[in-house]
Amino acid sequence: MSDALIHHPLLLAGHWYASLPAELQQALLGMARVQRLSAGQRLFSRGDKPSGLYAVVDGAMRIGAVSSSGKEALLTLVEPPYWFGEISLFDGQPRTHDAFAEGPCTLLLVPQVSLLALLDAQPRYWRDIALLMSQKLRLAFIALEEMSLLPAAPRLARRLLLMAENYGEGEPRRVLHLAQEQLALMLALSRQTTNQILKELEAQGILRLTYGEIEILDLGRLRQAAG
């Protein structure tokens, strides 16, 4: 069994991969290479040439952008079994964001050249890749709407709920490996505002705050707080 095939059961916990035809699942794993990153290591930067499609199988990846002055915009923090990197597969353009390992992280890389060769030979699989991108596009539109229309508290609750449900890619999880500063960056809120809202949710028994983690105690009430 190859290193990539070992991760097949984990990947099946994700809705996108589990919905793929069995032949495509096996083809992706057959092409995949295991890549390990140390904490804080950069996977790619905005403007880099596309290298392929990635899946997080252990640890977490931080996706965002860093300005020339060092200010960070954090878009998302993703954990297994999450696939990313498909945008550049469609247009062949450079990477749109930076990707760093939040801690020690293991990825599967399906190389761009190999995957494009498969899609040229089996063009029906393009729809499956498009579904991966369309799901994220839908979430991005929702996030933009919430940024414009929702007050800070329900917007924060919705982001926690989305992460707890692993962006629709797996079973809900109780513990989010997420620092308050990171959550504030994701939502473009001050750390003080973020901390205040989290403390209110903790006082209501909806979650518990520990160092670098947020534990969801009551997913139903978190949904209510999200409106």
Give 41's contacts (C-beta < 8 A, 6+ positions apart).
100, 101, 105
Superfamily designation of domain 5-138: Jelly Rolls (2.60.120.10)
pLDDT tens for 107-156 read 999 999 999 999 999 999 999 999 999 998 998 888 888 888 899 999 99
pLDDT score, position 1:
47
- Domain 150-225, what architecture? Orthogonal Bundle (1.10)
pLDDT tens for 23-37 read 999 999 999 999 999
Name the token pair of 175. 């513990």
How confident is the prediction for the chain on average, in pLDDT? 92
State the chain's maximal CA–CA distance in angstroms: 56
Amino acid identity of residue 4, one-letter, is A
At which residue do the structure tokens 């945008």 appear? 87
CA 166 from chain center: how many Å? 8
Is residue 161 within a helix (H) or strand (E), and if so which, with residue range? helix 152-164
Handedness of CA 195, 179, 145, 226 (dihedral sign): negative
Matching fold, domains 5-138 and 150-225: no
Question: Phi and psi dihedrals of 119, rounded to 5?
Answer: -70, -30
The domain limits of the chain are 5-138, 150-225
Give 55's contacts (C-beta < 8 A, 6+ positions apart).
7, 11, 17, 32, 80, 81, 82, 83, 107, 108, 110
